[in-house]
Structure 1
Amino acid sequence: MKTGGLLLCLCCVLFISFTNPLPEKQKAGITQTVFGKMPDGREAHLFTLTNAAGMAVKITNYGGYIVTWTAPDKKGKQENITLGVPTFADYVKGTPAFGPIIGRYGNRIAKGKITLDGKEYTLTTNGSGNHMHGGKIGFDKKLWAATPVNGIEPALKLHYTSPDGEEGYPGTLNVDVTYTLQKDNALRIDFKATTDKPTIINLTNHAYFNLSGMKRDVLNQQLQIKADQFLPTDASQIPTGELKPVAGTPFDFTKPTVIGNRINDTTHTQIKYGHGYDHCWVFTDQSKKLKLGATVYEPQSGRFIEMYTTEPGVQIYTANHLNGKIQGVEGVPYTKRFGLCLETQHFPDSPNHPNFPSTTLRPGETYQSTTVYKLSVK
């Protein structure tokens, strides 16, 4: 090639590189802003965790709510994929648990009654005469102490001390929950707790996912659960104590299955009781290792979520009671079945079923649980 031609090619390369620069990686880290004030004047903060890929998760230390989670679709468009409300005042007013930490005990306990070491305790009741999601003022309504951790994989460490007798629970419980946004577009949630008296504990996060980016309900999304059994309930959604096979029922998601295919099959008593899906699935792998528990795929956006957990079960809830009266962050009404909850946990009402994995925590022991939600596209 002649010198003139070579110079012309170099000039073309330089021109193209300046007019079409390569996409820059986002700077990973965590930022903090004031989100609002509690009724007693204390400030709540909003923390934004961002990774190098440009994914961002906003979390408040009020209740540990995941406020928004932006993730790319198959065309690279970033959109929010979790249900949330627009203002801090909306969170204080109360939501149907749009993404908070749930505790001390996620899910239901029959009539709020438990017995530990021969002593009966009465917990506050707040749902059909049962104890639900930690009681009337659960962990989702507490202002947690927050410690932001900057870095390539930014994290938010939250701490709360639950006093002895709170909501009827025995023992002073020290709780730490850490959200970490990983480089691989996964949000890791680590739960840890200790107590000074025998107590029970069953922590979870209650995010409602909508992988469409709030464009439609979740009925066309494909769900797979690594579980060959589920827990049937009575009419008040308290487990009967049985573990039933999913085979041949609307609860069989052992292969990727469209959520809406059988959700309205009210000839099945359990669908009638839950008004859709609101049940605990029992993982086939009952080990405490971090294992794949479920996947969700949204065909139109291409978004795909893998859920890993150390827990023995997952409560699947399909937002059966949303009615369009709540408008989300984007101004979109949240209608029936507009979200999907993947609540990793021990089983509902475990203290009253000796055949269920124990949720008892004793002094000297440390409760630990990990759940990872990993986002990708296909």
Structure 2
Amino acid sequence: MGQKGTFCCKTSEGDEIYLFSLRNNKNTEVLISNYGCIINAIKFQTSKEEIIDIVLGFDSMKDYIDENYLKKYPYFGAAIGRYANRIGGASFTIDSVRYDVSMNNKNFQLHGGWKGFDRKIWEMISFDEERHFIEFQYLSKDGEEGFPGNALVNLRFELNDLNELSYTYTATTDQSTVINLTHHSYFNLNNGVGNILDHELMINSSQILEQDKDRVSTGNLIEVENSAFDFSRQSPISKKMDHSNGIDHSYLIDSQEDENLSLAAQVYSPNSHLLLEVLTSEPIVHFYAGQGIPPVMGKRGEQYGDYSGLCLETHIHPNAINIPHFPDTILRPGETYYSKTAYRISELVEK
């Protein structure tokens, strides 16, 4: 595994954790680990040759496996599966067979269970420093966290010279199962300093998915126009937080921009002048504003907490397996699951 990767530490089970670097000709660097396919850093070089790291995380990979962190556990930068977000009742039915999956949060399953894809060692199967890509693979075995079937999952990261970092999931199975994957990076365009309330956000959506008291999707849609959830026009996040108790909601993306990826959201920092655009093949972008981030010491000694970073998680509708009119998340033998998301980073230089 260590070929071209930097050894960091070992898990309590003795598995080796590595970091791999992708760097393009603009000097943008992305650090990715085989542990949880964690994006540890996205470092952007500005026109003034400043290096700004736009994702939250830790200086040492040891901190990602620290028991104190795992007790609080906000999934910093990790791959999420087998099923992103919530499965209501931690159960579902496929072909008249009921499956009970691990109930790791209240009365639902969150982000794949107690030990989802975020806490697994992935096998690095392809790495090309010159072409700036790396691909990992993980075999999720039949019965893992209660899910049926052996699911073989590939996750490929690619950094191009337009400063676009994309990740692409593919998956196959030997038995009918459910698959709904995402990635859980927390963005802060001010080099991870302070909070994101000054960031300006646009979400390409006019509807959110209704949630119950546990934030499990009910199957209904809610129009967001003129509400605290309305980000259809770019506006400071702080303005919306004045009228809400924080946001942790799934937005239905309005339109398809091209054949492959649609613009889901964009975030701008008036402090750093960085713009992040999120493009995806998926129908949902889940916006988590970061209320409830636990108090932990992050990179460069920065104290994280409420609103230190924001998440824009792309996936199929949460709890879709239990809502017949939502898109199908069942993967059957002979089929291939596919999902692609890209983060486009640019600097709006002052004139």
Q: Scaled by the length of structure 1, what TM-score is found?
A: 0.87
Q: Report the residue type matching 2:139 in the other structure.
A: T
C-alpha contact 1:60 1:67 (8 A) present in aligned 2 = yes
What 5-or-longer segments of structure 1 have no aligned partner? Answer: 1-29, 267-274
Out of 266, 288, 297, the residue aligned to residue 317 of structure 1 is 288
Cα displacement (A) at 1:152: 3.8
Which of residues 32, 57, 60 is equivalent to 1:84? Answer: 57
Residue 23 of structure 2 is aligned to residue 53 of structure 1 = no
Distance 2:13 2:208 in 1: 43
Aligned 1:133-152 pairs, distance under 5 A: 133-152=111-130
Partner of 1:294: 265
Query: SS at the partner of 2:238?
Result: helix
Q: Which letter maps to 1:277?
A: I
1:72 Cα deviation from its structure 2 partner: 2.8
Moved more, 119-128 or 257-266: 257-266
1:258 to 229, 233, 236: 236
Residue 346 of structure 1: how far off its partner (Å): 0.6
Instruction: Give the aligned residue type for 2:49.
Output: G
Contact kept in structure 1, 2:22 and 2:129, CA below 8 Å: no
Aligned partner of 1:304 in structure 2 is 275
Match of 2:107 among 98, 120, 129: 129
Q: Which residue of 2 aligns with 1:174?
A: 152
Question: Which structure shows the higher strand fraction?
Answer: 2
Q: State the 1:288 CA deviation.
A: 7.3
User: Normalization by structure 2: what TM-score?
Assistant: 0.94
Offset at 1:252? Answer: 1.0
Other structure's SS at 1:262 match:
helix
Cα distance in 2 for partners of 1:182, 1:292 equals 18
The alpha carbon displacement at 1:87 in A equals: 2.2
| Paired residue type of 2:41 | T
Distance apart, 1:246 and its partner CA: 1.1
SS in 1 for 2:89: helix
- Structure 2 contact 23–129 (Cα < 8 Å) conserved: no
Question: CA offset at residue 148 of structure 1?
Answer: 4.3
Structure 2: give runs of 5+ residues left out of the alignment: none
Partner Cα separation in structure 2 for residue 277 and residue 66 of structure 1: 23
Larger mean Cα displacement after TM superposition, 117-126 or 41-50: 41-50
Out of 176, 179, 194, the residue aligned to residue 172 of structure 2 is: 194
Deviation of the 1:228 alpha carbon: 1.1
- 8 Å Cα contact 1:52/1:152 also seen in 2: no
- Tell me the equivalent position of 1:5: none
- The residue number in structure 2 matching 1:155 is 133
1:238 aligns with: 216
Give secondary structure in 2 for the equivalent of 1:311: coil
- Of the structure 1 ranges 67-76 and 171-180, higher mean CA displacement relative to structure 2 is found in 67-76
Aligned-residue offset at 1:249: 1.0
Once the two structures are TM-superposed, the CA of residue 173 in structure 1 deviates from its matched residue by 0.1
Kept after mapping to 1: 8 A contact 2:26/2:45: no
2:88 partner amino acid: A
Shift of the alpha carbon at 1:43?
1.2
**Does the alignment pair 1:334 with 2:304?**
yes
**1:9 counterpart residue number:** none
Q: Could you tell me how far 1:31 is from its partner in structure 2?
A: 4.2
Which contiguous aligned blocks of 4+ residues in structure 1 show a shift greater than 6 angstroms? none
Contact residue 104 and residue 138 of structure 1 kept, 8 A: yes
Cα–Cα, structure 1 residues 132 and 288, in superposed 2: closer, same or farther, change >3 Å? farther
Match of 2:36 in 1: 63
Q: State, as a whole percentage, how many aligned pairs show the same letter.
A: 37
The answer to whether the 8 Å contact 2:277/2:343 transfers is yes
Report if aligned partners of 1:31, 1:47 keep a CA contact under 8 Å in 2. yes
In structure 1, how many angstroms separate the alpha carbons of the residues matched to 2:321 and 2:206? 23
Match of 2:336 in 1: 366
The whole-number CA distance in structure 1 between the counterparts of 2:41 and 2:58 is 9
Q: 1:197 to 1:148 in 2, by over 3 A?
A: closer
CA–CA separation in structure 2 for the residues paired with 1:89 and 1:322: 19
Deviations 1:313-361 (A, max 9, x none): 01100111124x2111211000200101010001111111111111111
Deviations 1:17-75 (A, max 9, x none): xxxxxxxxxxxxx9411011122222111101111111111110000001111113453
Match of 1:44 among 17, 34, 46: 17
- Residue 23 of structure 1 is matched in structure 2 by none
2: distance between equivalents of 1:247 and 1:73? 35
2:8–2:62 contact (8 Å) kept in structure 1:
no
State the AA in 1 paired with 2:95.
D
User: Any idea what SS the aligned residue of 1:124 has?
Assistant: coil
Which amino acid in 1 is paired with 2:89? K
Question: Whole-Å Cα distance in 2 between the matches of residues 44 and 215 of structure 1?
Answer: 27
Q: Any residues of structure 2 matched to 1:339-350 within 5 Å, and which? A: 339-350=309-320
Matched residues in 2 for 1:150 and 1:262: separation?
Answer: 43
Structure 2 equivalent of residue 96 of structure 1:
74
Is the CA contact (8 Å cut-off) linking 1:74 and 1:301 kept in structure 2? no
